[in-house]
């Protein structure tokens, strides 16, 4: 009997179109056995669509494991043959693109440390000219949407038609609960700028540990992401890179089973009706908030006038500290996070100072 086998390209297209798309595999390919065993155990979960593995690893410090290099590419080929899972690899140079394509890697991604550098992204883009392969662009390390969008545009101009985004969080100074702060609002803004591109969340590099993975993945799905990329390893504690954040394929399966896979309900009119009511309430409150803020700024104008007439400075530090302390305490009681109150007050304060400055500067 003749079997209808799909080509690699057809299989990849099927995976690219699937929602949610789940990509998993080790941070780094380490040995042939490890790649093969990970792929087989991932395939056995029945929940993974593509196999990722880092071949060239950009590491923060020299002397760390910098990837097995092109030697690992045939291992991925063998893993695909054994499991049927399309493969995905990070590329940062033209040479890496060529090597990956020579060994039939199905999906390429541009890492966070590459997206920050337009020279590198352009080099990768030039190497991709005339090639039909899906490319995922990770957000740059720093919270700069122009740079992320610029990376996407460079790849698009090279003629790549299947482009996607990976949100892996942003580097921020000081300790936070995350290895890379998600800054969800930036990813949401990116989704609005590029509504036709799928966006995948990478909880592994956001969290940097195993504990937070589920919550971040669930949040991404709640925010209507198109899928997740999560690192997995057959022996996470002994992984050669990112040991703290990797999970076994079996743990990954449990996690994926626990996630509530929500979808945008476009056709259920009853649900939409309920949602519509809540949205109207929100619109109403947003209108009111704008009115109130505008009233507040009118008072700031009056204060500016008063300070001008009496030759006082605009910024009176003690007064502002007093407001901050009071509002932080109040806001917390009202169920608002400290982080939000800080951002909100900073924004209001800045606007208020600008209003006062305009009054002071007016002739």
Which residues would be at the binding site for Mn ion (CB under 5 A)? 27, 242
Q: Cβ 361 to ligand PEP, closest distance in Å?
A: 45
Instruction: Write the burial class of residue 90 (CB in 10 Å: 0-12 exposed, 13-18 middle, 19+ buried).
Output: buried
Q: Choose which of 111, 182, 236, 304 interacts with ligand PEP (CB under 6 A).
A: 111
Token code pair at residue 162: 């299947």
Q: Encoding tokens for residue 77?
A: 């080929």
* Shortest Å, Cβ 89 to Mn ion: 13
Question: Binding of ligand PEP at residue 168 (CB under 6 A)?
Answer: yes
Residue 80 engages ligand PEP in binding (rule: CB under 6 A): no
CA 272 – CA 267 distance, rounded (Å): 8
Residue 25 binds ligand PEP (CB under 6 A): no
Segment near ligand PEP (CB under 6 A); pick from 105-113, 142-150, 292-300, 317-325: 105-113
Specify the stretch interacting with ligand PEP by CB under 6 A; choose among 4-12, 106-114, 209-217, 259-267. Answer: 106-114
Query: Residue 206: phi, psi to the nearest 5?
Result: -70, -50
In 168-256, beta strands by DSSP E: 199-201, 227-231
- Name which position in 11, 41, 138, 253 contacts ligand PEP (CB under 6 A): 138
d(CA 328, CA 322): 10
In whole angstroms, the minimum distance from the beta carbon of 290 to ligand PEP comes to: 37
**Gyration radius of the chain's alpha carbons:** 25
Q: What is the dihedral of CA 210, 212, 214, 218, to 10 degrees?
A: -150
Q: Which is nearer to ligand PEP, 242 or 359 (CB)?
A: 242
- Which lies closer to Mn ion via its Cβ, residue 111 or residue 304? 111
Q: What does the binding site for ligand PEP look like in residue numbers (CB under 6 A)?
A: 27, 54, 90, 111-113, 138, 168, 205
């Amino acid at each position: 009997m003749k079997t209808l086998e799909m080509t690699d390209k057809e299989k990849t297209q099927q995976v690219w179109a699937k929602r949610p798309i789940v990509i998993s595999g080790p941070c780094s390919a380490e040995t042939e056995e490890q790649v093969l065993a990970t792929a087989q155990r991932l395939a056995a979960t029945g929940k993974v669509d593509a196999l990722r593995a880092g071949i060239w690893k950009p590491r923060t410090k020299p002397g760390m494991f910098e990837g097995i290099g092109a030697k690992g590419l045939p291992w991925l080929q063998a893993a695909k043959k054994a499991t049927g899972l399309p493969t995905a690899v990070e590329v940062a140079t033209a040479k890496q693109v060529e090597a990956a394509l020579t060994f039939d890697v199905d999906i390429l991604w541009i890492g966070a440390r590459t997206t920050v550098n337009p020279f590198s992204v352009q080099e990768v883009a030039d190497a991709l000219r005339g090639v039909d392969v899906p490319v995922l662009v990770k957000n740059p390390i720093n919270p700069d949407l122009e740079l992320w969008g610029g990376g996407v545009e460079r790849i698009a101009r090279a003629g790549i038609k299947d482009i996607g985004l990976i949100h892996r969080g942003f580097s921020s100074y000081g300790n936070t609960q995350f290895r890379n702060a998600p800054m969800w609002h930036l990813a949401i803004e990116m989704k609005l700028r590029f509504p036709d591109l799928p966006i995948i969340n990478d909880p592994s590099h956001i969290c940097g540990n195993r504990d937070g993975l589920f919550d971040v993945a669930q949040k991404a799905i709640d925010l209507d992401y198109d899928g997740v990329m999560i690192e997995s390893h057959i022996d996470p504690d002994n992984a050669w890179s990112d040991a703290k954040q990797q999970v076994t394929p079996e743990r990954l399966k449990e996690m994926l089973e626990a996630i509530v896979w929500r979808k945008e309900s476009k056709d259920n009119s009853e649900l939409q009706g309920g949602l519509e009511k809540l949205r109207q309430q929100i619109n109403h409150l947003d209108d009111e908030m704008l009115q109130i803020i505008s009233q507040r700024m009118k008072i700031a104008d009056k204060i500016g006038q008063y300070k001008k007439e009496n030759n006082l400075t605009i910024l009176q530090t003690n007064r502002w500290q007093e407001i901050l302390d009071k509002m932080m305490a109040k806001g917390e009681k009202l169920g608002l996070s400290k982080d939000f109150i800080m951002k909100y007050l900073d924004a209001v304060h800045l606007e208020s100072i600008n209003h006062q400055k305009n009054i002071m500067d007016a002739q």
